[in-house]
Chains A and B, each alone.
Chain A
Amino acid sequence: MRKIHIANAASRNASVTGVPITTHFEINMGKDGKSATFKRFVAAGENKIDADLFTQFKGEYSKQLIESDPEIDFNSVGRFIESTQSVFLSASGEPLFAAPSVVEVTLDPSGAEISRKAPVEIAPTMDDSIPLRWTGKKMPKGEVVRKFLFKRTMQLMHNDGVTFDFLHAMAKELHDENVMVLLAAGSTGKDPVILQVNGTPYRGFLEGRIEGDKFILLLHLSNMELKKPVVTAKSEGSDE
């Protein structure tokens, strides 16, 4: 759940609740009616992976595998991994004794590096002092779904009677016109919607549905258009 600061077409603002929408389809795996749990486990001990052993034994590697089982570390292999902490190691695999420096690298669609700079902290815009606002850009739903890809959606929910009326009115306007409206963030009204610190920037489109006194108001988030990539590669599909 997130707090969302949003204004309507008349620039009246309120803080409401945004709930992410997920699918409820769930498959459990098992055997003979017994359910199984997906787990990570230790598969090789320290300095026991293939590359380490190859370096260690060189030409004797295959002989050592057969004769002395050097790849098996009985103290750790098979142990379930419950929780871990991520750590950075140097390029040679040694622990770091000081925090690493961080750079932001930009790659073009082909994967080639085009720039490198110090990263800048990006603030979220969802619960900013400046609310998300309606732009003048309203588009028919049929056009929006064929133009943009939406990978995230949040349902806007009221907190009380006043915000119910506020959101219901927005949903009704959009429903009656059968359109979606582009939202803008920031003081200039051109900033994207950003959910969290250093989060992905999105374009946000508001969609409303009405059924009697009930409503659904959805914030659909998109960070790409439906376009063909510039670099074309071989088609996918499974081999016959």
Chain B
Amino acid sequence: MDITLFHIVGAGAISAAAGGLLGSFALLRRMALVGDALSHVALPGIALGLLFHFNPFVGSLAFLVFGTTLIWAVEHKTNLPVDTLVGVLFVLALAVGALLTPEHELLEALFGDISQLSATGFWVSLLLGGVIIVALLMLWRKLTLTMISSELSKSTGIRPHVVEFFFLTLFAFVVALGITFTGVLLIGALVIIPAAIARNIATSMGAYMFLSSLIGVLGAIGGILASYFFHIAPGPAFVILLGTLFFLSIIGKLR
């Protein structure tokens, strides 16, 4: 199968839709920055994939699932300060990953390049993106309740720890999925910015979730087209486009 601009836009759009939807919950729990730091843990996985000639996607996914499990375990099984530990460990992972990654591949790993998408990558994006979106839509009530109060959630018979574990696993999937698009350093933007914009506009949870995905998709299409016509990297183009929109939404809100 030849990869065309159409395929690239499709893969970028579904990554951004999944990222935006997930982000709407991440922002409820004020875990935007934990998520951002978490994405750094993907880099050693990518590096190992490149060094030992297996698919870097598999490496990054394995490291991310390990990272999210670690966050969850530290939060629920120990009294250690989560933010500090996450901050230190995951920056450490970024440093180790940066040293391990072959130099000519480092830029792509850090900032992504979806224009290099393979046929396998396209189908994996479609499948994984679809799974993440369906899972989030099935879980949204439990997720929302758990994010706003784990005690209230528990009182209704939900098991908040289990819900949080699912959420973090989906977070790992989103990061692994989005990394080809925005790279390790900018992946936080895929999750945070669309939700942050939607939050400035929406007045209901339904609208918030929908707008967050939609803004992600529009940003992805815009970013990829900009990169195609102006020969710039698509990840940074996406971030700059949505970052600008975010500030416009703040101005709109203040007026």
A binds B: no
Q: Which residues of B contact A (CB under 8 A)?
A: none
